[in-house]
Structures are given as C-alpha cells and as structure tokens.
Amino acid sequence: MLKKIAIASGKGGTGKTTVSVNLYYFIHKYWTDKVQLLDCDVEEPNDLIFFPEAREKSFNVVNQQVPKIDNSKCTYCRDCVEYCEFNAIVVIPTVKFAEVNASLCHSCGACLHACKHGAMLEYDHKIGEIKKFDLGIGLGLIQGELEIGSSMQTMLIKDVIKEYNPETEIVLMDAPPGTSCPVVTTSADADFILLVTEPTPFGLHDLQLTIELMREIHKPFAVIINKDGIGDGSMEKYLEAEDIEIIGRIAFSKEYAANYATGKILNNLDETQDSFYRNLVMNLKEKLN
C-alpha cells in the first residue's frame, strides 16, 4: 500500500533536508527498497547534494500556459480584464493597447472564456524543470527546480508530487519552509507529516503556525526536535501542553553541522544515528500500517 510522508517545518534551516535524506536511506535499509524521495523545495532544492553518486535519468520542462492577445482580432472590449482576478491584463481601448503581464498571470484560463472574439491564445512559458535521479538504492530522487524569476513555485510542486513511480510504497516529500500555499500543496497528499523543528524562540513560533495549518488541513503529524539542547525549555512546555507527540530528538552537534556542510551526512553514519533512524522508521511503519 502506497504511503506518503511529508517533511515540513515552518522555519527554514531546522533540518528538513537532513531528515529527508536520512529517512530515504534508512527506510530502504529497514523497511522497503520501494522508496522514493521528492524534493518539493523547488525554490532551493538541496536533497541531491547529499547523493554524490546520483545519476540523472530524465528531465522534463514544466510550462505554464500564459495567454497572449492577438491584436488583429481584439476588439478592446475589456471582457478579459473584467474576468482576470489577478490584474494581469491591461486593455486601453482609446490607444488600442491590449497586453498580458505574464508575471502576474496565474494561468487560470478565465480570460479565454471571457473573450468572444478568439483573440486570446495561450503559449508555453517555462516555470521550471523536473529531474529524476537514480541513487543506487531505492527508487530514486525526483527534484523540481524553479526557473529563476518565476513565481509559480506552487504550480511546479503540483507537478512534482504527481511524478512518483507507480511501484513506490513510500513517498517522502521534502517540503519548502514556511506555512503558505507551497507547503499546503506538498502536505495535501500526505498520509503523515513530520515536523522538524529547533528548540529556539523562532523555531517554536514557526512550529506553532505550522501546527495550526496541520490542524486546519486535518493531517496527522508528529514533531522531531533537531539541534536538541540549544535554546530554552519553551518548546517542551508547548508540546506537552498541546499533547503533541515528539517522535524523535536529534542532539545538537557542531561536528554533524560540519558533515552537513560538506554534503557528507550519509558517509559518516554511526551507531547512534543508525539506531535513531531505525526507531523512527519502525515507529512510522507502525503508524502507517
């Protein structure tokens, strides 16, 4: 049975990528080799960095459909302007000017329905790429990479999360930071969400926002406290008061940070890490079965 786990955080830099990459490795080791990792942080995808042996298998371009106005057919009636909720179309009848601002367009298609003169045409506008990698173990990595300058990260994420291999049993989705639409899109399909946080005031504040979101979208979740030992005790107090499960703790270590820095989190696995992730995998397996 296919199960999907999203790894999210609210605050950036708390360890989503570290947990995602490790889970991929340890799910393969202790659960199933039919595991796939989806890097949904399309603005800044980093999972690939930790798999130096990765081989690119395929890539495809993702486009958004942006309308263009055919001036020979346009009657400057402004019906399209009326329909566009995103103020992306400017029509000035007196000077026969009609144009779509691609960076404001959400590609909803409303203007095509508005235009009765066949003056609205759509063309492809690149928003990013989806690359698939063989990682030697498991079913590999799928990475979305947003085109520089595009604001359509949510649209690209929607495409990334559809790309998983049909044979996959576990899909891991590494979410972008924040609590807005890109995170919702990544989590919407998930059976379970792991929230990776750090016990600092910023970490706590952003975790609270994320938990509010998880409750609103009715998703089961548990918290991993990373960099355990820094900060104060307010994180513990909050989680206890709210009766939120702490599914794991990773102690802060400057040495680990240095391994992370050089991309070597899977080359330096020790017994502590192995047993931590084995427990986490077993725990997740129980929850999801």
Partner 1 sequence: MKEITVLSGKGGAGKTSITAALVSLSERAVFCDSDVDAADLHLILKPEVKESYRFDSGYKAIIDSVKCIDCNICKEECRFDAIHTDKGFYEVNPFQCEGCRLCERLCPAEAIVSVKNENNFWYVSNTRFGPLVHARMGPGEENSGKLVTVVRRKAREIARSLNYDFILNDGPPGIGCAAISSLTGTSGVLMVIEPSMSGLHDAKRLLDLINSFNIKSYAIINKHDISNKLTDEIVQFLKNNNIPLLGKIPFDTMFTQAMIEGKSIVELYPEAKSSKVLKKIWDYILVN
Question: 61 or 217: whose CB is closer to partner 1?
Answer: 217
> What are 234's two structure tokens?
């307010």
Residues 66-95 that bind partner 1 (CB under 8 A): 83, 85-86
Among the listed ranges 31-39, 103-111, 133-141, 267-275, the one in contact with partner 1 (CB under 8 A) is: 103-111
Phi, psi (degrees; rounded to nearest 5) at 37: -110, 130
Partners of 8 in the β-ladder: 195
- Applying CB under 8 A, the site for partner 1 has a residue count of 62
Among 7, 100, 210, 280, binds partner 1 (CB under 8 A): 210
Partners of 123 in the β-ladder: 66
Q: State the nearest-atom distance from the C-beta of 95 to partner 1, in Å.
A: 26
Among 89, 120, 170, 184, binds partner 1 (CB under 8 A): 184
Task: Build a one-symbol-per-residue string for 141-180: x at contacts with partner 1 by CB under 8 A, - elsewhere.
Answer: -----x-xxxxxxx---x-----------------xxxxx
Among 4, 7, 8, 17, binds partner 1 (CB under 8 A): 17
Among 61, 92, 181, 251, binds partner 1 (CB under 8 A): 181
Residue 22 interacting with partner 1 (CB under 8 A): no
Determine contact, residues 48/38, Cβ cutoff 8 Å.
no
Between the alpha carbon of residue 106 and those of residues 25, 81, 112, 144, 157, the distances in Å are 37, 14, 13, 19, 14
Nearest in space to 15 (alpha carbons), one of 53, 43, 47, 40: 47
Q: Can you say whether the dihedral through the CA atoms of 254, 255, 258, 260 is positive or negative?
A: negative
Lookup result for tokens 């990698």:
133
Is residue 119 classed as helix, strand or coil in its secondary structure?
coil
Residue 220 interacting with partner 1 (CB under 8 A): no
SS3 content of the chain, % helix, strand, coil (to 5): 35, 30, 40
Binding footprint of partner 1 on the chain (CB under 8 A):
10-14, 17, 41-44, 46, 49, 83, 85-86, 106-110, 113, 146, 148-154, 158, 176-185, 188, 200-202, 205-206, 209-210, 212-213, 216-217, 230-232, 254, 257-258, 260-263
